[in-house]
Amino acid sequence: MYHVFGAFGASADDDGLVLTEDDYFDYLLTTAATKLMPPEVEGALVSNSLLFLGFRLTDWHFRVLFRLMMSLPGRKRLEKYCHVAVQLDPDLQTMSDVAEARAFLAKYFGQKANINIYWGSSEDFLTSLRDALAAAGDLGADDKQPHGGDDGWDF
């Protein structure tokens, strides 16, 4: 007998089966998502630096995407690239130890896919990125500021 979401009541046998969330994600991926992704997207997900902006690392949408990436052919190539996930602090109201949660997420995603976590808002990250590029000379002095706010970003 196989229960994805568990069972209520006694079973005919006493043998148990424990499924983790990761097992469930793998189940979802093998039955649906991997068959729907075009090969060009699969290749792009494992052969480029990636920026995860607007996700929470603990969010199901990100976790399904991450597990999908980890199931793709060529996933070892992810280690050759630097990836960044912009992440707000874990929810202070639902976690007893935010520092421990941050350390766990950094270690887990760093080891699995070489993803570095930027702890802050998307706006803070983009400002820091712009400043770092300017300091490195990658933003040309002759470039005109785009129309928009005083900070040079046009949202």
* Of 147 and 105, more confident: 105
Q: What is the mean pLDDT of residues 102-122?
A: 89
Inside any domain, residue 31:
yes
Q: Which domain holds residue 63?
A: 21-135
How distant is the alpha carbon of residue 63 from its chain centre? 7
Inside any domain, residue 56:
yes
Total domain count, the chain: 1
Q: What is the mean pLDDT of residues 95-113?
A: 84
Inside any domain, residue 8:
no
- CA separation for the pair 119, 14 (Å, rounded): 46
Inside any domain, residue 13:
no
Inside any domain, residue 42:
yes
Inside any domain, residue 112:
yes
Inside any domain, residue 5:
no
> Helices marked H in the chain — which ranges?
21-28, 34-36, 39-46, 60-71, 98-113, 122-135
Confidence at residue 115, expressed as pLDDT on a 0 to 100 scale: 92
Inside any domain, residue 152:
no
- CA separation for the pair 90, 101 (Å, rounded): 7
Structure tokens at 140: 């040309």
Confidence at residue 21, expressed as pLDDT on a 0 to 100 scale: 77
